[in-house]
Amino acid sequence: MKIANIEFPDKPLFLAPMEDVTDPAFRLLCKRFGVDMVCTEFVSSEALIRSVNRTQQKLTIYEEERPVAIQLYGRWAVDMAQAAKIAAEAKPDIIDINFGCPVKKVAGKGAGSGLLKDIPKLLEITEAVVKAVDLPVTVKTRLGWDEDSKVIVDLAERLQDIGIAALAIHGRTRAQMYHGDADWTLIGEVKNNPRMHIPIIGNGDVTTPERAAECFDRYGVDAVMIGRAAIGRPWIFSEIKEYFKTGEVKQILSFHEQKEILKEHIIASIKWLDIDESTSIESVYDKRLKGIIHSRRHLAATPVFKGIPNFKETRIAMLRAETLQELFKIIDSVEV
């Protein structure tokens, strides 16, 4: 499978862009465990044009994580085109447009999945970005705004005609948010539409190796994108690829190894958010750090501690820990 001139192996796995999750620390960890493409957190076009520091930081990419996409969102074509030019200067492999974010602060202001209520404007933005950069432009979107307006089959053709290089589809409407089951039938319909020739990437509720295999085999998608199932479990990509090879579900890491990966990710987050290269981890071991707070989402979601008896109090303590010393002591104390 290829997106423009970027080649991927058979049955590629992509990491979905997620706000406050897919920073370089997490992307590099997923890359180590076999993900085939990663994407930045979504980047506000308006904030990027205004040179907001936090937004500019999101453009940081590393050679080791390629191929990598920078994802943009916004509600105005002129701003999105300008932001795409700025993002292109960071030298990503792909510029991706977010037409799928369902949260109120984005969709409610006419960006993200809010543009599914205004298809002409959505297409105008897409065309402006495609014309603004020489990089491949991809789109990530949903089935439609709600149950009565599932427009994805027609929309996919129109986006392809504008010149996008690939389309990722989350199998829910905006109205569903993240509730209910993802519906892959329309994703399959888009893929099997004889007019479609660009790669179609399926997304939604892929949480096991068996489900990933089913999505490829049953719906014929060119790639599978995994989001929430990778939070606190970056090794899911290796588990899925092992299943593709052997047909067996295997735990590729021991309990101890999984804990060590979680600790490694926490340290990487601290290095990303709190310290520079001249500062040692040891020197901040007993300090309150942003990287620890940032890691709580991964610790809360991880399946590593699932099923451990009487774990509730330990879990609460782990999510309240404010220093690396305290947090690692708690993690190291957990045994099965």
Based on the domain organization, do 189 and 263 belong to the same domain? no
Is residue 291 within 8 A of residue 274, CB to CB? The reply is: yes
Last residue of a domain, one of 181, 214, 246: 246
Task: Check residue 336 and give its pLDDT.
Answer: 83
Is residue 153 within 8 A of residue 144, CB to CB? The reply is: no
Last residue of a domain, one of 206, 223, 246: 246
Catalytic residue among 30, 39, 101, 215: 101
The structural domain count of the chain equals 2
Based on the domain organization, do 175 and 270 belong to the same domain? no
Based on the domain organization, do 159 and 15 belong to the same domain? yes
Based on the domain organization, do 308 and 196 belong to the same domain? no
Residue 152: name the closest of 186, 185, 179 by CA: 186
Q: Looking at this protein, which amino acid is placed at residue 109?
A: K
Based on the domain organization, do 141 and 168 belong to the same domain? yes
Range of the domain at 12: 2-246
Instruction: Return the structure tokens found at 84.
Output: 């795409």
Mean pLDDT of 91-97: 98
pLDDT in tens, 62-73: 999 999 999 999
Based on the domain organization, do 264 and 202 belong to the same domain? no
Instruction: Return the structure tokens found at 331.
Output: 């993690």
pLDDT in tens, 147-202: 999 999 999 999 999 999 999 999 999 999 999 999 999 999 999 999 999 999 99
Based on the domain organization, do 94 and 124 belong to the same domain? yes
Q: What is the CATH number of the domain that holds 41?
A: 3.20.20.70
- DSSP 8-class letter at 241: H
Measure the CA–CA gap between 302 and 61, rounded to whole angstroms.
25
Based on the domain organization, do 270 and 232 belong to the same domain? no
Based on the domain organization, do 144 and 263 belong to the same domain? no
Based on the domain organization, do 47 and 22 belong to the same domain? yes
Last residue of a domain, one of 246, 269, 296: 246
- DSSP 8-class letter at 42: P
Instruction: Return the structure tokens found at 272.
Output: 């990303």
Catalytic residue flag (residue 101): yes
Instruction: Return the structure tokens found at 67.
Output: 């191929």
Based on the domain organization, do 28 and 162 belong to the same domain? yes
pLDDT in tens, 41-57: 999 999 999 999 999 99
Is residue 28 within 8 A of residue 65, CB to CB? The reply is: yes
Residue 189: name the closest of 143, 223, 145 by CA: 143
Based on the domain organization, do 216 and 270 belong to the same domain? no
- DSSP 8-class letter at 15: E
